[in-house]
Amino acid sequence: MASGNGSNFEALVEAGARQLLPAQVVSLVVNNPGCGASQRAERLGIGVTCLNHRSFASRDSLDGALVDHFQAVGVDLVVMAGWMRIVTSRLIRAYPERLVNIHPSLLPSFRGVDAIGQALAAGVRLSGCTAHLVSEEVDAGRILAQAAVPVVPGDNHATLARRIQAQEHRILPLAVGLAAERLGLLHSQP
């Protein structure tokens, strides 16, 4: 699931192709028509579905459509890789312990929107990113992996975001693999 540029989505696809992630990305769902993630999916040969959140009466109805889509394509694990929407219990209940999110802070610090801006405003010297399981409380699920990124003098939102995103690309495939392993989804090759 992605809303924007899709670089974390592409990192997952590449990790699978290089056999660094023992999984296959089978579908991408975006909520913004024509977003960068859609273009990446087309270039990478991954099916993309747009479920424009503006076309749904509620978050719950959007999440119902997400569940229907994921069940139709037979996914085992769902990854929110830059999905800029808060999900409801409907999606969380459909994929308990199977819904992974990447967040640009060292949780539990700086939950929610604009975590990078929050970190800069707080004057922290260390930021980073967290891959975690999704729970009903925003950015509060069980942590799977984290990476620290120093905040250096002169950093602004863009410079810090670039360094954090590089670490997101590294830890998200690792976290997806850990989640799949915990759930017994990985099968050894004969």
Known active-site residue 103? yes
Q: Report d(CA 89, CA 114) in Å as an integer.
A: 23
Instruction: List the catalytic residue out of 103, 132, 157, 187.
Output: 103
Residue 133 forms beta bridges with which residues?
100
- The secondary structure of 27-58 as a DSSP string is -EEESSTT-HHHHHHHHHT--EEE--GGGSSS
- What phi, psi does 149 have (nearest 5°)? -135, 125
The closest alpha carbon to 149, from 158, 162, 139, belongs to 162
For β-strands 143-150 and 126-133, DSSP reports them as antiparallel
CB 138 within 8 A of CB 86: yes
CB 129 within 8 A of CB 103: yes
Q: DSSP strand E in the chain: where? A: 28-30, 48-50, 78-80, 99-103, 126-133, 143-150
Give the gyration radius of the chain's Cα atoms.
Answer: 16
The residues that are catalytic are 103
